[in-house]
Amino acid sequence: MGGTSAERDVSIASGLRIAAALRSRGHEVTSLDTATGVIDTETERELLGAGVQQAPPDLEALAAMTKKSLSPSLGTLPAVRQADVVFLALHGGQGEDGTLQALFDLSGVRYTGTGPLGSGLAMDKDLSKRLFRDNGVQTAAWLMAPATANEVQSALGFPVVVKPSKQGSTVGLTLVRDAGGLQAAIDEAFRYDDEVMLEQFIAGRELTVGILGNEALPIGEIIPKHELYDYECKYTKGMAVEEFPARLDSATAARVQEQAQLAFRALKLRGYARIDFRLDDSGGCFCLEANTLPGMTELSLIPQAALAAGMTFPELCERIVQLAITEGRT
């Protein structure tokens, strides 16, 4: 958990909750921050009390932490080498883009979730949308920066969503309503990534589908207090309403779940993931992205989807571990 991406706080909250859940099922669990090392019981309590802040961590602080990161030697640490399964609760950065997964594959370490290829494909929103399109998954039109306001108006129209191409939790994302705000939004997104996507804004309902093994979990609908389901709405109590299952007719629900499973297969994912959609007023279903290591905090979506399917959070965590054992390559 933890790490040095802009989603560090979310990752710690996810990881600590997972650790507690697995301990409640009788497992021996060691908590490990890839930036600082093994987390003792006292530090766990302190981190639990801190929770997720309303804004991502400061980029300069993360850069300083990166210089001390343990990531290059993770495959040799006793806590990792001696584990039956490493449960990845990292979000963003090298923890989710396939880098760490490749390191573990080389080290013969079994871990939860998707392997290096699928992780990299899902993290890169440009590549993932190309694969969606080629595999029958409808997705919103997009351009990659640099792009002029005239090009955006011609290809996408305003408003557009400007976001880092390889980032999560809506970090660095801006909804741009007219040409005047375009460049500032692009500059903000470039603070978090070396590639920036400009995506057609799809007005409508925000839906999410958890995939567990080969099964699509009940669809959820997110109704945020802000126009977009941004960082604050995701991690602040009371800033969004989530309905599981979503109020959809059976035909629409089946179509969205089918699209989620198609997206899961198109990106060569395994274990579990969360696939996000927009449903417009005419019933069009547009896949936004796939999350290979979705949030597991008390406000996160895939635990709510599992609960709607009759699965408690500890049961969900244990099921993910079991999938790592049956589907893992080591």
In the numeric block, which tokens belong to residue 43? 């530090």
Angle between helices 99-107 and 116-123 (to 10 degrees): 180
Catalytic residue among 221, 295, 300, 318: 295
> Active-site residue 7, yes or no?
yes
Catalytic residue among 276, 278, 300, 318: 276
- How far CA 135 is from CA of 64, 123, 174, 197, in Å, comes to 41, 18, 28, 21
Catalytic residue among 229, 289, 300, 328: 289
Q: How many distinct helices (H) and strands (E) make up the chain?
A: 14, 12
> Active-site residue 42, yes or no?
no
* CA–CA separation, 16 and 94 (whole Å): 19
* CA–CA separation, 158 and 139 (whole Å): 17
Catalytic residue among 2, 7, 14, 192: 7
Classify residue 292 as left (phi > 0), alpha (psi -120 to 50) or beta: alpha
- In the chain, beta strands by DSSP E: 31-33, 37-39, 142-144, 160-164, 174-176, 196-200, 205-212, 215-216, 220-224, 240-243, 272-279, 285-291
In the numeric block, which tokens belong to residue 189? 């997104």
> Active-site residue 289, yes or no?
yes
Nearest to 163 by CA among 131, 133, 206, 201: 201
- Burial (CB count <10 Å: 0-12, 13-18, 19+), residue 58: exposed
Catalytic residue among 5, 14, 71, 291: 291
Inter-residue contact 164 to 171 (CB < 8 Å): yes
Catalytic residue among 95, 235, 242, 318: 235
> Active-site residue 165, yes or no?
no
Catalytic residue among 11, 119, 169, 300: 169
> Active-site residue 111, yes or no?
no
Q: What type of residue is 223? A: I
Catalytic residue among 17, 270, 274, 278: 274
* CA–CA separation, 324 and 87 (whole Å): 9
In the numeric block, which tokens belong to residue 37? 């090392």
Q: Which residues are catalytic?
A: 7, 169, 235, 274, 276, 289, 291, 295
